[in-house]
Amino acid sequence: MTTAHVHETHPAIVTRLKRADGHLRKVIEMIEAGRPCLDIAQQLQAVESAIGQAKKTLIQDHLDHCLTQVVGPLPGKQREVLDAVKAVSKYL
């Protein structure tokens, strides 16, 4: 059995995903109601954006906390490499 693994950002991620869930439900309703494609596409964009931001936040949080804990203290040059990986991952 795994132990609870909760980070400070998790409540905000859950909120974002619940918002995405609401948008997705709205998209389904809009399609079923025969709403215009532009309106549907705008709602789909909102869903995609919310999920993408949740994923990005989760990954950044993992790199900032979990990876750092596992690696532990590093000498200067190695720390620079790890910090660079964490920084460049923000652009994914």
CB atoms within 10 A of CB 24: 17
Q: How far apart are CA 63 and CA 65, in angstroms?
A: 6
HSE-CB at 2 with a 13 A cutoff on CA atoms is 3
**Interatomic CA distance for residues 71 and 68, integer angstroms:** 5
Q: What is the pLDDT of residue 72?
A: 77
SS3 75: coil
User: Which domains does the chain carry?
Assistant: 10-91 (1.20.58.1000)
Q: What is the pLDDT of residue 76?
A: 80
Residue type, position 26, single letter: K
Does pLDDT of 73 surpass 60? yes
pLDDT tens-digit profile of 10-65?
A: 999 999 999 999 999 999 999 999 999 999 999 999 999 999 999 999 988 888 87
